[in-house]
Amino acid sequence: MTLLTRVADSLLWTGRYLERAENLTRALRVTLHASHESGGREREDLARWNTLLEISGEREGFLTTRGEITGERVLEFLTLATDHPSSVRACVRRARENALAVRDRLSRELWEELNRLYWLLEEAGRGRGEGAGSLPAPGALRECENRFQLLQGLAETTVLRDDGWSFLRCGLLLERALQSVRVARAYVRSEPGAPGGSGSRRADALHWITLLKSCSAYEAYRKTYATFIRPEKALELLVGEERFPRSVRFCVAGLVRELSRIVGPAPETSPYRQVLRLAGRLESHLVYTEAAELFRPDPAAGLSDLAGELGRIGGAFARAALALPGVEPEAVPG
């Protein structure tokens, strides 16, 4: 069945924004929980809020518009704010905008559920008075996370498995991999011993547990490695474990599968062959590189490289949507 490249692009971004919003919601919930669990020590908490801002990529924007970093302000900033694109509410808005343009490609159940989530967040945002710094109700983050998971389930079980589905899935997987990398890197940068970290040895274990929980990886870690949490093993799980659904390797393998379907039997004519090449290369890299090698020269640098590769894949998708046969998409520097 025909699929316009514009529609494919919208499906990709619907997936990406939904995944982004879900990850952020989980990271927020887990971080808040960790803060309560450890008794709310100011220095530790500050490190936590910084980590959240780092994950969202909006630390600069926050400092400019909100000033001092407090838990309340960060929470409002990352859930209901609309003056920047990386809050949960802003992501859902964009997801819905994209989905609106391709409504026919989604199942009715998925669309209606997305619409309901949109209105939930809009009403929460308006009712609370934007920027007033008021918090969402305690169970709200959990509720929100559940809604996202409902959407994932609906996508999985009600959308016809055609090319449109492949693009939606690519969006989900690409963003999922990227989020795992970003979360891991933020935690690596803010680890207790590091500058900007809380400086507390006691906080070590909790720090890495929080990382794992932010990626729904805590139980998976326990099952895979048993005993206590070691940072290098946590990173291995999140990046290279082939059985863990949120690992970069797992997601990229899924991307390769979907892209193979998209490119179809005549790859030379597909606008997406370049994307498949990049994804395939990254998959090989993750499969055949030893864990220690992946994090050379240091974990933060290794993770940044991965983020870069994933970013290149995203860029290749965008260029494919604009490319014309006979005109090679321009190479993107770096």
Partner 1 sequence: MGSILGAGYSPDSRVYDEFVDASGTPRPHYQELYRILNTLGSEEVWRRQQVANLLLRDQGITFAVQGDPEGLERVFPLDLIPRIIPYHEWSVLEQGVKQRVVALNLFLQDLYHEQRILRDRVVPPELIYSSPHFRREMVGLNPPGGVYVHVAGIDLLREPSGQFVVVEDNLRTPSGISYVLENRAVMITVFPELFRHCPVRYGRDYADRLLEVLQHAAPANRDEPVVVLLTPGVYNSAYFEHAFLAREMGVELVEGRDLVVRDDYVYMRTTRGLKRVDVIYRRVDDDFLDPLVFRGDSLLGAAGLFHAYLRGNVGLANAPGTGVADDKAVYSYVPAIIRYYLGEEPVLPNVETFVLCGTKERAHVFQRPEAYVFKPTNQSGGYGLVLGPAASRDELEKLREQVEENPRGWVAQPVVQMSTHPTLVDGRLVPRRVDLRPYALYGESVTVIPGGLTRVALPDGCMVVNSSQGGGSKDTWVLASPRLPTARLERVA
The phi and psi torsions of 327 (rounded to 5 degrees) equal -120, 110
Q: Which of 57, 193, 264, 308 binds partner 1 (CB under 8 A)?
A: 264
Window of 31-39, 60-68, 264-272, 299-307 that interacts with partner 1 by CB under 8 A? 264-272
In whole angstroms, how close is the CB of 38 to partner 1 at the nearest point? 46
In whole angstroms, how close is the CB of 50 to partner 1 at the nearest point? 38
Q: Which of 138, 195, 297, 325 binds partner 1 (CB under 8 A)?
A: 325
- Interface size with partner 1, residues (CB under 8 A): 21
- Alpha-carbon distance 124 to 304, whole Å? 35
- Alpha-carbon distance 169 to 122, whole Å? 26
Site map for partner 1, 92-121, x if CB under 8 A? --------xx-xx-----------------
Q: Which of 2, 201, 330, 334 binds partner 1 (CB under 8 A)?
A: 2
In whole angstroms, how close is the CB of 168 to partner 1 at the nearest point? 13
- Alpha-carbon distance 41 to 34, whole Å? 11
- Alpha-carbon distance 247 to 180, whole Å? 7
Q: Which of 21, 181, 262, 306 binds partner 1 (CB under 8 A)?
A: 262
- Whether 94 and 13 have beta carbons less than 8 Å apart is answered as yes
- Kindly list the distances between the CA atom of residue 149 and the CA atoms of 21, 110, 111, 251, in Å, as whole numbers in the listed order: 11, 11, 14, 17
Neighbour count for residue 322 (Cβ, 10 Å): 13
Site residues for partner 1 per CB under 8 A: 2-6, 8, 100-101, 103-104, 163, 167, 262, 264, 266, 269-272, 324-325
